[in-house]
């Protein structure tokens, strides 16, 4: 059986995994079965202008409008809409207390600028001593991020946003979020979690979480004082920022495995609260996916591995910071390389049917062995199947009576 693959990313981790399976590399113009593409390539392929029609034996690693969850402003918009929809339904998940959502409070208070500028000012005035973080919506790797603690710092930005209409078309939008200023620290340093989540379908939702995530550390000890507000080595955990910090290499590339974090928390905070924290992390991932599921252009040829960035505060509450559609496959250490090779191997085992030939008609329910280091987060097909079986059982029992 001849399986072909194509990739426009020069990453050995992709090519090595495909070749190990005996797949043959071809170009994008050839007949391919699996395409590990960049987001831009995927967008071009699915564009109306391209006229490209995929065959049943082809798979690609992005959904057409993956940016509904990976663009910072769209993620916030979709989560806010999800909350409102659940509220209208009277769903208990959307319960509020002290004006906060009791269950769906997993993203910091966030506004999109310049559109929500007046709403932001209103919120800012409730707590004028608070710190906020500004992030450009369409950029990544910590580019263009800055912190503010005074409204005056935004005044100039706001004036520029109110430029003539023609110029405003090209004006970059930002999200501004309440800064998590009480992060959990290890060795006095701030860190975040990078977790990998594989989605094989959005409707019905089928998602898996990789066990082997890691923590990314800042190179400088955390300091919330005004003097350190502009020091990104204190506040941003992005590897692309921290690799320029002096102590980066002494911390194993600035990383710590999720398993070791769990052990550390169990020994310092207790097993029960640690279990609750990791349950809450799974909960927020599932509901962030449910929030975007109605608007994602679901396509049976597509799957996607997202990089989730989560910060834990000192009360052991997890916060979703952002979701990446193209998490880095570059390795900074030997452990990193092992992790990413395993990640890629497990992804292919899950998305390719047991026959070994990509086929969009299969039910996308992999065997337990195929999961490797992935754990099932949610499969709405299986939930529906169990509910149907349960209802049949109850009906049968009632008939017996």
The CATH number linked to 128 is 3.30.1490
Containing domain of residue 120, as a range? 109-179
CA distance 219 to 46: 41
Residue 1 lies in a domain: no
Q: With helix as H, strand as E and coil as C, how does 82-109 read?
A: HHHHHHHHCCHHHCEECCEECCCCCCCC
CA distance 116 to 55: 43
Q: How many domains does the chain have?
A: 1
Residue 226 is given by DSSP the state G
Residue 121 lies in a domain: yes
Residues in contact with 247: Cβ distance below 8 Å, sequence separation at least 6, in sequence order = 219, 220
Q: Which residues pair with 96 in a beta bridge?
A: 101
Residue 320 lies in a domain: no
Residue 123 lies in a domain: yes
CA distance 112 to 134: 10
Residue 28 lies in a domain: no
HSE (CB half, 13 Å, CA atoms) of 149? 13
The one-digit pLDDT tens for each residue of the chain (401 residues) are: 899 999 988 778 999 999 999 999 999 999 999 999 999 898 888 887 877 889 999 999 999 999 999 999 999 999 999 999 999 999 999 998 877 888 999 999 999 988 888 899 999 999 888 889 888 887 765 567 888 888 887 876 667 655 443 344 445 788 999 999 899 999 898 899 999 999 999 999 999 999 999 998 888 888 776 545 555 545 465 444 444 454 444 444 457 899 999 999 999 999 999 999 999 999 999 999 999 999 999 899 999 999 999 999 999 999 999 999 989 888 878 888 999 999 999 999 999 999 999 999 999 999 999 999 999 999 998 887 766 665 554 445 544 33
Residue 135 lies in a domain: yes
């Amino acid at each position: 059986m001849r399986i072909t693959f194509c990739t426009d990313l020069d990453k050995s981790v992709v090519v090595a995994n495909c070749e190990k399976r005996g797949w043959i590399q071809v170009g994008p113009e050839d007949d391919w079965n699996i395409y590990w593409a960049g987001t831009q390539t995927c967008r071009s392929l699915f564009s109306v202008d391209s006229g490209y029609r995929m065959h049943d034996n082809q798979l690609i690693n992005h959904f057409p409008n993956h940016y509904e969850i990976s663009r910072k402003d769209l993620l916030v918009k979709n989560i806010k809409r999800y909350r409102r929809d659940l509220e209208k339904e009277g769903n208990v998940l959307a319960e509020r207390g002290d004006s906060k959502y009791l269950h769906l409070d997993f993203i910091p208070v966030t506004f999109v600028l310049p559109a929500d500028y007046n709403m932001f000012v209103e919120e800012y005035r409730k707590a004028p001593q608070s710190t906020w973080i500004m992030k450009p919506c369409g950029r990544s790797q910590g580019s263009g991020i800055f912190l503010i603690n005074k409204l005056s710092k935004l005044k100039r930005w706001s004036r520029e946003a109110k430029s003539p209409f023609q110029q405003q078309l090209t004006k970059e939008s930002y999200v501004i979020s309440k800064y998590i200023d009480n992060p959990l620290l290890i060795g006095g340093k701030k860190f975040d979690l990078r977790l990998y989540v594989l989605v094989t379908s959005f409707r019905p939702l089928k998602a898996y979480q990789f066990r082997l995530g890691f923590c990314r550390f800042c190179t400088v000890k955390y300091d919330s004082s005004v003097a350190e507000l502009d020091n990104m080595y204190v506040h941003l955990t992005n590897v692309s920022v921290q690799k320029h910090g002096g102590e980066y290499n002494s911390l194993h590339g600035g990383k710590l495995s999720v398993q070791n974090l769990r052990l550390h928390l169990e020994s310092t905070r207790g097993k029960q609260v640690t279990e609750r924290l990791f349950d809450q992390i799974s909960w927020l991932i599932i509901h962030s996916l449910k929030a975007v599921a109605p608007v994602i252009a679901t396509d049976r040829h597509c799957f996607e591995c997202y990089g989730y960035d989560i910060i834990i505060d000192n009360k052991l509450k997890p916060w979703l910071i952002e979701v990446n559609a193209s998490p880095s496959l570059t390795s900074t250490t030997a452990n990193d390389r092992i992790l990413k090779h395993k990640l890629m191997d497990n992804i292919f085992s899950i998305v390719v049917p047991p026959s070994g030939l990509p086929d969009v008609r299969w039910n996308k329910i992999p065997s337990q062995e195929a999961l490797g280091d992935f754990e099932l987060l949610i499969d709405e097909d299986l939930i529906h199947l169990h509910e149907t079986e349960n209802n049949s059982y109850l009906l049968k029992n009632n008939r017996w009576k």
